[in-house]
């Protein structure tokens, strides 16, 4: 690769005067994903992996195992029965959904500090993941189990911003800008830092060996929708994550003071995804159900 030209991910995403090499170096210095979690995610992708092998691996990290078990017992995953052992969790939930749970448990451990801002971002991650799962079910998509992970990872860049000393101390300026200008997180970050969380999230996801599709969904979920409808599954998943994030904010989940009104954004996404039925009713149903689910289960993930 010509080192003078930035990778394609950076196109149109850096303020003038920002050097993409510095961001690549900064991401390169970030810690790798914890070993057991990284191995577990790799095992989930391997068709030769058995439930017992995965259980044995997860058992090596007591904190991760406890969190996986706790999340597995939420109504979203437990299929209405109590899960008492890791092996049961692996068997009942299935590998695709388990990947999202492992990542949720890992991300939550990244922020050693868990102040008001960290809590806001984390709640938005979880609310978006829950809502994305609901939307995929509603639209009868085949990737219901996978979309939880994409919803969760949409704010990976924000979690990284807050986990790193040099960016966490300035994140208050992002919240100040949201409050004064009524903009979204990404717009405020772009003004404060010269780049925003979708870029950082995509770069970190790439470093952590997530699939190219996952990285692309993270990178593009805040981009304007193009065309009348998605032309492929990746565009569809990206729009679902965008919609789920907007609904989470509309439901007041992880939404800071002054965050922009979301109804127009939600209606645009529903039309793009060609959701059938009365848009107003659908919007009210999704907001209400997301709020209720988060109130019932949000504490499981904290």
Residue ranges of domains in the chain: 33-110, 113-302
Q: What is the per-residue pLDDT for 80?
A: 66
b/e sequence 148-159, b meaning 16+ C-beta within 10 Å: bbbbbbbbbbbb
Query: Mean pLDDT over all residues of the chain?
Result: 88
Residue, of 1 and 89, whose pLDDT is higher? 89
- State the pLDDT confidence band at 298, using cuts at 50, 70 and 90: low
**For residue 38, what are the CA distances in angstroms to 34, 64, 244?**
6, 12, 26
- State the pLDDT confidence band at 187, using cuts at 50, 70 and 90: very high
* Cβ-based burial of 267 (10 A; exposed 0-12, middle 13-18, buried ≥19): middle
pLDDT digits (tens, 9 = 90+) for 230-270: 999 999 999 999 999 999 999 999 899 999 888 889 999 99
Residues in the chain: 302
Residue 2 has pLDDT above 90, yes or no: no
Q: What is the per-residue pLDDT for 302?
A: 60
Q: Which of 173, 170, 238, 229 is nearest to 201 (CA)?
A: 238
pLDDT digits (tens, 9 = 90+) for 30-76: 878 888 888 988 888 888 999 899 999 989 988 888 888 887 777 66
**In Å, how far from its chain's centre is CA 199?**
13
Residue 278 has pLDDT above 90, yes or no: no
Q: What is the per-residue pLDDT for 5?
A: 81
Residues contacting 228, CB < 8 A, separation 6+: 272
Q: What is the per-residue pLDDT for 151?
A: 93
Angle between helices 197-207 and 20-29 (to 10 degrees): 50
Residue 166 has pLDDT above 50, yes or no: yes
- State the pLDDT confidence band at 3, using cuts at 50, 70 and 90: low
Distance, in Å, from the CA atom of 43 to the CA atom of 45, rounded to the nearest integer, reads 5
Q: What is the per-residue pLDDT for 83?
A: 82
Phi, psi of 94 (to 5 degrees): 90, 155
- State the pLDDT confidence band at 115, using cuts at 50, 70 and 90: confident
Largest CA distance in the chain: 56
Q: What is the mean pLDDT of residues 281-290?
A: 86
Which fold, 113-302?
Hypothetical protein af1432 (1.10.3210)
Q: What is the per-residue pLDDT for 268?
A: 92
b/e sequence 208-237, b meaning 16+ C-beta within 10 Å: bebeeebbbbbbbbbeebeeeebeeeebbb
Residues contacting 74, CB < 8 A, separation 6+: 297, 300, 301
Q: What is the per-residue pLDDT for 1?
A: 45
Q: What is the per-residue pLDDT for 68?
A: 81
**For residue 58, what are the CA distances in angstroms to 37, 90, 209, 227?**
8, 10, 19, 43
Please say whether the beta carbons of 157 and 198 come within 8 A. Answer: yes
Angle between helices 95-110 and 156-163 (to 10 degrees): 30
CA dihedral 160, 166, 172, 175 (to 10 degrees): -40
Q: What is the per-residue pLDDT for 154?
A: 95
- State the pLDDT confidence band at 79, using cuts at 50, 70 and 90: low
Q: What is the mean pLDDT of residues 269-292?
A: 86
């Amino acid at each position: 690769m010509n080192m003078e030209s930035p990778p394609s991910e950076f196109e149109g995403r850096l303020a003038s005067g920002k050097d993409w090499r510095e961001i690549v170096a900064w991401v390169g210095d970030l810690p790798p994903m914890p070993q057991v979690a990284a191995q577990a995610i790799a095992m989930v992708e391997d068709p030769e992996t058995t439930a017992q092998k995965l259980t044995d691996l997860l058992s090596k990290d007591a904190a991760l195992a406890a969190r996986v078990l706790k999340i597995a017992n939420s109504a979203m995953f437990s299929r209405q029965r109590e899960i008492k052992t890791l092996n049961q969790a692996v068997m009942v939930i299935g590998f695709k959904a388990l990947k999202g749970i492992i990542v949720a448990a890992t991300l939550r451990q990244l922020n050693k500090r868990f102040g008001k801002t960290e809590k806001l971002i984390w709640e938005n991650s979880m609310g978006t993941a829950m809502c994305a799962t609901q939307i995929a079910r509603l639209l009868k998509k085949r990737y219901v189990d996978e979309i939880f992970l994409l919803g969760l990872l949409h704010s990976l860049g924000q979690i990284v911003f807050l986990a790193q000393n040099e960016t966490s101390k300035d994140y208050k300026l992002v919240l100040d800008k949201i409050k004064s200008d009524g903009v979204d997180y990404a717009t405020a970050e772009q003004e404060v830092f010269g780049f925003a969380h979708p870029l950082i999230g995509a770069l970190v996801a790439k470093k952590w060996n997530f699939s190219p599709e996952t990285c692309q969904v993270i990178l593009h979920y805040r981009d304007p929708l193009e065309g009348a409808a998605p032309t492929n599954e990746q565009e569809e998943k990206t729009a679902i994550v965008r919609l789920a994030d907007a609904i989470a904010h509309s439901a007041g989940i992880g939404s800071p003071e002054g965050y922009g009104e979301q109804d127009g954004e939600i209606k645009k996404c529903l039309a793009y995804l060609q959701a059938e039925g009365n848009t107003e009713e659908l919007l009210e149903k999704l907001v209400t159900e997301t709020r209720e689910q988060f109130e019932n289960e949000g504490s499981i993930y904290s």
